[in-house]
Copies of this chain bind each other. A is one copy, B any other.
Amino acid sequence: MTQNIYDDPNFFAGYSALPRSQQGLDGAGEWPTLRALVPPLDAADVVDLGCGFGWFCRWARTQGAASVLGVDVSTNMLARAAADTADSAITYRQADLEELRLPVAAFDLVYSSLTLHYLRDLPRLVGEIARALRPGGSFVASVEHPTYTAPTSPAWVTLGGHDVWPLDGYLLEGPRVTDWLAPGVVKQHRTIATYVGALLEAGMQLTALVEWGPSDDDLVAHPDWTRERDRSPFLLLAASCRTQ
């Protein structure tokens, strides 16, 4: 199964202290851009793969979703999600996304935020997603940007008086071990082409590809985000299930 780093006590403590864990969706810089890719949810059946604390599940209900299924591998995350949720239309399920099976043609939206870069077998899950969507349904996902996950040494370097991101290994896909919140966090690096190819090969149609960066307004509130314009931290993708 995928490494379940979110149930490592040190990682979980660190993750729980992040702005996006404390403030929910509004604590995530990329959320306004990602939200704009989400289709209207009135009466929609929604599944969130890697739902974490359930912030998106609860938001989807405020947008009129009929039902929301939140899936995560972490029992720690799901325990807090359940404790924070009083809504019988939201269901949480513990599962490894490497092996997840979903009902066929059962959802109008499959959503996944910052989860797929932990997955070893992307094509299997994307095929499952394509089958789980109703015709015309949408898949909306964010992942760590491939230029962010690629490097051997993913840290800014000062060269000639300004910071650069030391890109290497971009086309060499596979595991990357970093020390983020806890030592030995394993992510799976893959290229933008591989993410897009997985969607197309599953028969989906790409409707949006965004390389997120801070807006001018973001930089007024968060001057420390300026460097994020030197290499995008997040890749956002939207695709639709063909209607035929």
Residues of A within 8 A of B (CB): 147, 151-153, 157, 159-160, 162-172, 191-193, 196-197, 200, 205-211, 213, 228-232
Min CB gap A2→B, angstroms = 25
Nearest B residue to A192, CB-CB: B192
> What residues of chain B lie closer than 8 Å to A196, measured between beta carbons?
206, 209
19 additional contacts, CB 8 Å, given A147-B147, A164-B167? A147-B167, A147-B170, A153-B159, A153-B164, A157-B159, A157-B164, A157-B166, A164-B166, A165-B168, A167-B167, A168-B231, A170-B211, A170-B229, A170-B231, A171-B213, A171-B232, A172-B229, A196-B206, A206-B206
Most central of A157, A171, A208, A210 by chain B CB within 10 Å: A171
Asked whether A171 and B210 contact (CB < 8 A) given A151-B164, A153-B159, A159-B153, the answer is no
Chain A binding surface SS class = mixed
Nearest B residue to A206, CB-CB: B206
Can you pick out 13 interface pairs between chain A and chain B where the beta carbons lie within 8 Å of each other? A147-B147, A157-B159, A163-B168, A166-B166, A167-B231, A168-B230, A170-B231, A171-B211, A171-B230, A193-B209, A196-B206, A197-B209, A200-B206
> What residues of chain B lie closer than 8 Å to A208, measured between beta carbons?
197, 200
Select one of B160, B163, B191, B229 contacting A171, CB under 8 A: B229
Asked whether A200 and B207 contact (CB < 8 A) given A165-B167, A168-B165, the answer is yes
> What residues of chain B lie closer than 8 Å to A230, measured between beta carbons?
167-171
Q: Give Cα A160–Cα B167 distance, bound, in whole angstroms.
A: 13
Q: Give Cα A81–Cα B100 distance, bound, in whole angstroms.
A: 56
Nearest B residue to A193, CB-CB: B211
Select one of B168, B171, B228, B229 contacting A162, CB under 8 A: B168
Nearest B residue to A159, CB-CB: B166
Nearest B residue to A163, CB-CB: B168
Q: Give Cα A228–Cα B162 distance, bound, in whole angstroms.
A: 24
Select one of B147, B171, B192 contacting A209, CB under 8 A: B192
